[in-house]
Amino acid sequence: MSMDRRSFLKIAGISSILGFGASVASATHTIWQKGLEPPQVDKNKEALIAKRWAMVVDMSKFKTDEDVKQVITACHQTHNVPDFRNADGSVNKKDEIKWIWQASYERAFPGQDNKYMSEHMKEMPFFVLCNHCDNPPCVRVCPTKATFKLPDGITMQDEHRCIGCRFCMAACPYGSRSFNWRDPRGTNPNGEPFIKNENKEYPMRTKGVVEKCTFCTERLSVGKLPACVEAAPKGGLLFGDMEDPNSEVRKIVTNQYTIRRKSDLGTGPAIYYIVGGSDHA
Amino acid sequence: MKIYDGGKIFLGLLVFVALATFPFTYNMVMGKGTKAPEPKTDTPAIQEWEKVNGKKECVESKDFMRKEHMQLLNNWRESVVRDYNRGYISTTSHKRFNMSLQNGCMTCHSNKKKFCDECHTYMSVKPYCWDCHIQPEEKEEAKS
């Protein structure tokens, strides 16, 4: 078959227009547009909103071990955090997943301890969790933006996007991030599941992703306070908007002496600790 | 024209064609692979919905969901995790839906085996949703 240049160009031109047009037409379909915008999507009306979420920890309100334990249990229960244990019932430190846990003064506030401190203070187990920093090193190093900053100050983690490189774990100065070395859906040597009484409203994680405290974003958006705050004795853990001058957390931080973990690193942690005071001087 | 060793060549070709198409012919004869998937939307929650609203309706039209649900779910996830949006307003029914796989989709489509797996298995796609998300509890069908 022979074809002159004119008809060849005509056919080529028409087919490229058709091809290009079809790809444009399919790309303009609503669902392929980048992101969903209101009014297509909206926030829950009951959602709690703030400019800067922050927490105040007052350890003096925790009188018994039971008070302490129920906070950790509440958090880990709500978020399906696995409990990796060895056959003898001891905690498997290497694989442990931690959202909220306890640390001694020396560990929580290194460099601020001294040898004349009261034994009570030295041994008090402080609650430690993700500090939801103003300037989080984990976010800076994440190659996939799996961890990122929400506009209300929460350092959020999207496990869908996590590739398990663990840069964030190396970057976080608080050890707030845990890697899933093993499948949290498994069972321990005694045949008990790692996650007992799973919360069916919250996902689990999978082997190979990093997880951490999310300040209960899923609870905030249905108008609930974080699980730990709810489970703590009154005033033990306070949660609120630090940018709101009338909020409880702001008043405490303004009027009382509070310290933050490793604030000299410049990460701007948002967990404030009331240390000392009348209850345990 | 004479083809040297024509008999052997054609016999060889025949054997080759038979072997190469064996997976297809096998499935056609056995009738397993050719059966089109039939996802079921007859869960109690959907029947209840049908009773109340007069028709079965999903977040978007059936056609759209069939073709684009994976992209829709991706967009939902971004919107929920990154923008705090929790509600999705349907472009067809203008109803508001909870943007959640576990607490949204699966509350109606509680039959993961007959709804999700039916097609996914047929198409041999292995989405990793259920590596983390908790699937609804299903009663084993009373066949076995």
Residues of chain B with pLDDT below 70 are: 31-34, 139-144
Chain A residues near residue B133 by CB distance under 8 angstroms: 203-204
Cβ <8 Å between A42 and B68? no
8 A C-beta contact, residue A84 and residue A270: no
pLDDT at position A29 is 59
* Residue that is written with structure tokens 């630090």 in the block: A242
8 A C-beta contact, residue A49 and residue A239: no
Report residue B76 as tokens.
């939902």
Q: Is B68 on the interface with A (CB under 8 A)?
A: yes
Cβ <8 Å between B91 and A40? yes
Quote the ipTM score.
0.80
Report residue A206 as tokens.
């999978």
Q: Is A149 on the interface with B (CB under 8 A)?
A: no
pTM of the full structure = 0.81
- Measure B31 CA to nearest chain A CA, in Å: 36
* Residue that is written with structure tokens 């307003």 in the block: B89
Work out the burial of residue A18: count CB atoms within 10 Å of its CB; fewer than 13 is exposed, 13-18 middle, 19 or more buried. Answer: exposed
Cβ <8 Å between A43 and B87? yes
Which site among B75, B98, B103, B112 would you substitute to test the A interface, given the most A Cβ atoms closer than 10 Å to its Cβ? B75
pLDDT at position A201 is 92
Report residue B121 as tokens.
């298995």
Name which of A94, A117, A90 is nearest A104 in CA terms: A117
> Looking at chain B, which residue has its C-alpha nearest residue A43?
B85
SS3 A57: strand
Rounded to whole angstroms, how far apart are CA atoms A79 and A227?
9
Q: Is B89 on the interface with A (CB under 8 A)?
A: yes
Rounded to whole angstroms, how far apart are CA atoms A72 and A273?
17
What type of residue sits at position A39? Answer: P
Say how many residues make up chain B. Answer: 144
Strands, E, within A189-242: which ranges? 210-211, 237-241
> Looking at chain A, which residue has its C-alpha nearest residue B99?
A41
Q: Is A159 on the interface with B (CB under 8 A)?
A: yes
Cβ <8 Å between B87 and A44? yes
Chain B residues near residue A217 by CB distance under 8 angstroms: 84
Rounded to whole angstroms, how far apart are CA atoms A30 and A254?
48
Rounded to whole angstroms, how far apart are CA atoms A94 and A11?
66
Cβ <8 Å between A206 and B103? no
**Residues B39/B42/B43/B47 CA torsion (nearest 10 deg):** 150
Rounded to whole angstroms, how far apart are CA atoms A74 and A77?
5
Q: Is B78 on the interface with A (CB under 8 A)?
A: yes
- Measure B26 CA to nearest chain A CA, in Å: 38
- Measure B81 CA to nearest chain A CA, in Å: 7
CB burial string A71-110: b at 16+ within 10 A, e below: bbebbbbbbbbbbbbeeeeeeeeebebbbbbbbebeebbe
Domains of chain A: 64-231 (3.30.70.20)
pLDDT at position A136 is 95
Max Cα–Cα distance, chain B, nearest Å: 77
What type of residue sits at position A14? Answer: I
Rounded to whole angstroms, how far apart are CA atoms A260 and A110?
11
Residues of chain A with pLDDT below 50 are: 278-281
